[in-house]
Amino acid sequence: MSDIITLRGVSKSFGATEVLHDLDLTVERGTIFALLGPNGAGKTTIVNILSTLVAPDGGTATVDGHDVVRDREAVKRSISLTGQSAAVDEVLTGEENLRMMARLSGLTTREAKSRSRELLDRFELTDAASKRAKTYSGGMRRRLDLAISLLLTPPVILLDEPTTGLDTRSRQELWGVIRALADNGTTVLLTTQYLEEADQLADRVAVLDGGAIVAEGTPGELKSRVGGEVLAVHDGDGEVTREIPTDGTAAGLRAALSTLAPTDAVSLRRPSLDDVFLAVTTQKGPSA
Amino acid sequence: MTALATESTFIRRSIIHSIRTPDVLVTAIALPVLLMLMFTFVFGGAFESDGHYVDYVVPGIVLLCAGFGAASTAVDVAQDMTTGIIDRFRTMPIRASAVITGHVVSSLLRNLVATAIVVLVGVAVGFRPNATPLEWVGAFGLIALYILAITYLFAAIGLAASSPEAASGFGFIIMFVPYLSSAFVPVSTMPSWLQWIAGHQPLTPIIETIRSLLMGTSMGDNGWLALGWIALILVGAVIWTTLLFRAKARRR
């Protein structure tokens, strides 16, 4: 078991605003790690520190054993970043984008050509290969962006809100790609505002709020932290009208039921990451 | 990757950008040609009734056209700096500022083509230079140096601007400078306070040098003044560009 990403006591302020406060984080090699949090929680700052775009004010961060400040060039060779705004050249075609980035990544002209073809095919962009990226849909642009990140296979891939603004189908396609990466041994650190995404993809999740990690664990651990089953009360049309969290024991359930009328329709569900998220971000409840 | 391959990849990218952005090509080539025709046929008769105004105005038009053509560099640079693509370049193991070099070299090539077209159109409407081949080389060399210097200046403006729109606005001010020089009328015809400005600003010696090389007017100190001004602008703009690029990287 080895950690490929480590942050120790990292802090960062922009002007008077403290974005990260004494943050510790480790990501194990070959896993998918999700940073979950609302806008402004500091997710992007963490990604920017790990990708050498931003230097931390305090603490240390390493990627694959290289310090992000002292050993920038080595870190750059160990990562690829897919930022929040799609980093594609709109004037160039999809294929030209890939070939340009491949050349910049150090491939020969010939390697660049064949690798680009391969990725266009894998990301279902072959038909649009000779169209300018400007004409691409949001989903296609994201796929092109991700394809560029995968021209080389660095040990760490950083994805900043990779599925924001995508429709359900494109999102699920991207999830497939990300899972395949991890299956091949690449470490993926992604940020997301979507609990479902963290739940579906990640081996471990850190919930970030106000520049600090407020909860961390596997999706299952986090869910069990909010308690047991949730008792849902339905109206005549089957709509959920009330939700009562329970501790998952018979006694707890009995207590919850005793507050209801005998004719009420009820069901039980496992707590979702939504429940965790609300619990830890609003009350600053259980902390990691 | 070798530095040279990085630079050439970025130069290729910027050239494709130039070719695929029709309004840039129109500004760089069609606008100067139209201006030349306008100055020759519309204003020319009033300035110089003997019909040789075209001989006077071509060097000025060439520099004006270089200004128009180079100005889009500010917009290109600002665009790259405000979209996510610069972050990708910065996180790759390359010298990210080569992206600026790409825009500069592409602007230089674009404007040299525009200059050649403008001179050819000039010849078609009566421009009759008496330069030797060596003087032609000297004139084009000086024009190329001027384009390089002003392009770097626009690149710096593009870095300093907060958005492509702002970059375009700042650039417009610089494009006005040729009008306050000996480009279109001799400095001696201006009011005395303006003569001082027009006589001491960088464009007048540059234009007079080109005029001397192509038309055989007297050179005087203009050649050295022209080279000095260009060197000053170029070195200043390169330093400013380098500092701004670093500062932008750090500020985030």
Write the pLDDT tens digit of every residue in B132-154. 999 999 999 999 999 999 999 99
The backbone region for A65, taken as left when phi is positive above 0, alpha when psi lies in -120 to 50, beta otherwise, is left
- How far is the first Cα of chain A from the last one, in angstroms, to the nearest whole number? 20
Q: What is the pLDDT of residues B87-105, one digit of tens each?
A: 899 888 888 889 999 999 9
List chain B residues with CB under 8 Å of A85: 83-84
Which pLDDT tens digit goes with each residue over A143-155?
Answer: 899 899 889 889 9
Name the packing angle between helices B133-160 and B164-175 (round to 10°). Answer: 140
Distance from CA of B1 to the nearest CA of A (A): 5
- Inform me whether the C-beta atom of residue A84 falls under 8 Å from chain B C-beta atoms: yes
List the 13-32 stretch of B: residues with Cβ below 8 A of A. Answer: 13, 16-17, 20-21
Which domain covers residue B41, as residue numbers?
A: 3-251
Q: Angle at CA A282, nearest 5°, toward A277 and A284?
A: 90
Give residues with Cβ within 8 angstroms of A106, minimum separation 6. A152, B1, B93
| Interface contact A164, partner B, CB < 8 A | no
Query: Hey, is A151 helix, strand or coil?
Result: coil
The answer to whether residue B202 scores a pLDDT higher than 50 is: yes
pLDDT digits (tens, 9 = 90+) for A24-79: 999 999 999 999 988 888 899 999 999 999 999 999 999 999 999 999 999 999 99
Place of tokens 């421009």: B127
Query: Binning pLDDT at 50, 70 and 90, where does residue A101 land?
Result: very high
Long-range contacts at B7-10 (CB < 8 A, ≥ 24 apart): B7/B98, B7/B101, B7/B102, B7/B105, B9/A100, B9/A103, B9/A104, B9/B102, B10/B98, B10/B99, B10/B101, B10/B102, B10/B103
The number of domains in chain B is: 1
**Which value, to the nearest 10 degrees, does the dihedral of the CA atoms of residues A147, A153, A156, A157 take?**
0
Q: Give CA–CA dist A273/A223, Å, rounded.
A: 6
| A103 to chain B: closest CA residue | B9
Q: Is A255 on the interface with B (CB under 8 A)?
A: no
CB contact under 8 A, A76 and B21: no
Please indicate whether, in this complex, the C-beta atoms of B92 and A89 are within 8 angstroms of each other.
no
What separation in angstroms does the CA of A29 have from each of A80, A112, A156, A237, B204?
15, 28, 9, 48, 65
Residues A234, A267 contacting (CB under 8 angstroms): yes
Q: How confident is the model at residue A67, as a pLDDT?
A: 94
Q: Which residue of A has its CA nearest to B4?
A: A104
Q: In Å, how far is B217's CA from the nearest CA of chain A? A: 45
Structure tokens at B16: 């494709």
List the one residue out of B244, B91, B31, B144 whose CA is nearest residue A82.
Answer: B91
Chain A residues with CB-CB distance to B250 below 8 A: 55
Q: Among all chains, which residue has been given the structure tokens 């040299």?
A: B112
The Cα A246–Cα B46 span in angstroms is 94
Find chain B residues with C-beta within 8 A of A103's C-beta. Answer: 1, 5, 9
Task: Specify the pLDDT at position B176.
Answer: 80
The runs of H, that is alpha helices, within A105-246 are 109-122, 138-149, 168-183, 195-201, 219-225
Contact B83 A51 (CB under 8 A): no
- Burial code (b: 16+ CB inside 10 Å, e: under 16) for A145-162 equals bbbbbbbeebbbbbbbbb
- Eight-state DSSP code of residue A272: P
For residue B236, the surrounding DSSP H or E stretch is: helix B222-251
Q: Do A88 and B20 touch (CB under 8 A)?
A: no
| pLDDT, average across residues A79-97 | 90
Write the CB contacts of B184 (distance below 8 Å, at least 6 apart in sequence): B39, B43, B47, B57, B60
Give the residue from B87, B248, B251, B252 with the most A CB atoms within 10 Å of its CB, the best one to mutate. Answer: B87
CB atoms A76 and B252 under 8 Å: no
Per DSSP bridges, beta strands A32-36 and A204-209 are: parallel
Q: Do B16 and A87 touch (CB under 8 A)?
A: no
Closest chain B C-alpha to A196 CA, distance in angstroms: 26
Cβ-based neighbours of B63, under 8 Å, separated by 6 or more: B143, B146, B178, B183, B203, B206, B207, B210
Fold of A3-88+136-223: Rossmann fold (3.40.50)
Q: What are the b/e assignments for A127-142, b being 16+ CB within 10 Å?
A: ebbeebbeebeebbbb
- Cβ-nearest to B84 among A87, A91, A106: A87
- The pLDDT of residue B252 is above 60: no
CA distance B94 to A9: 30
A81 → closest Cβ in B5, B91, B249: B91
Mean pLDDT value across chain A: 87
Which residues, numbered 222 to 251 in chain B, qualify as contacts with chain A under a Cβ-Cβ cut-off of 8 Å? Answer: 249-250
| Band of pLDDT at residue A135, cut at 50, 70 and 90 | very high
Q: For residues A94-121, b (16+ Cβ closer than 10 Å) or e, as one string?
A: bbbbbbbbbbbbbbeeeebbebbeebbe
Query: Taken in order A95, A98, A104, A110, is the CA torsion positive or negative?
Result: negative
Going across the sheet that includes A3-14, the strands are A17-28, A3-14, A58-63, A66-67
What is the average pLDDT score of chain B? 87
Q: Which residues in chain A belong to E strands, given as ranges?
A: 3-14, 17-28, 32-36, 58-63, 66-67, 79-82, 156-160, 187-192, 204-209, 212-217, 230-234, 240-245, 265-269
A vs B, Cβ pairs < 8 A, gives: 65
Residue A190 contacts residue A82 (beta carbons within 8 Å): no
Whether the predicted pLDDT of A286 surpasses 50? no
What residues does CATH 3.40.50.300 cover in chain A? 3-88+136-223
Amino acid at A18: E
Query: What's the average model confidence in pLDDT over A207-220?
Result: 88
Q: Which residue of A has its CA nearest to B80?
A: A89
Tokens 């290729």 — which residue? B12
Is A53–B91 a contact, with Cβ atoms under 8 angstroms apart?
A: yes
Is B87's Cβ below 8 Å from some Cβ in A?
Answer: yes
Nearest C-alpha in A relative to B251: A54
State how far residue B213 is from chain A, nearest Cα, in angstroms: 40
Structure confidence at residue B162 as a pLDDT band (50, 70, 90): confident
- Chain B hits for A87, Cβ within 8 Å: 83-85, 87-88
What is the C-alpha separation between B30 and B84, in angstroms, rounded?
Answer: 32
Q: Is B128 on the interface with A (CB under 8 A)?
A: no
- Which chain B residues have a beta carbon less than 8 Å from that of A46? none
* Minimum distance, in Å, between the CA of residue A233 and any CA atom of chain B: 47
* CA–CA separation, B88 and B48 (whole Å): 56
* Burial track A61-93 (b if 16+ CB lie within 10 A, e otherwise): bbbbebebeebbebbbbbbbbbbbebbbbbbbb
CA angle A193, A199, A204 (to 5 degrees): 95
| pLDDT > 70? residue B38 | yes
Q: Model confidence over A235-260: pLDDT tens digits? A: 878 788 888 877 778 888 888 888 88
Residue A288 pLDDT exceeds 50: no
Structure tokens at A134: 């400007």
Overall average pLDDT of the A109-116 stretch? 94
Maximum C-alpha span of chain A: 74
Q: State how far residue B85 is from chain A, nearest Cα, in angstroms.
A: 4
CB-CB: which of A55, A92, A103 is closest to B16? A92
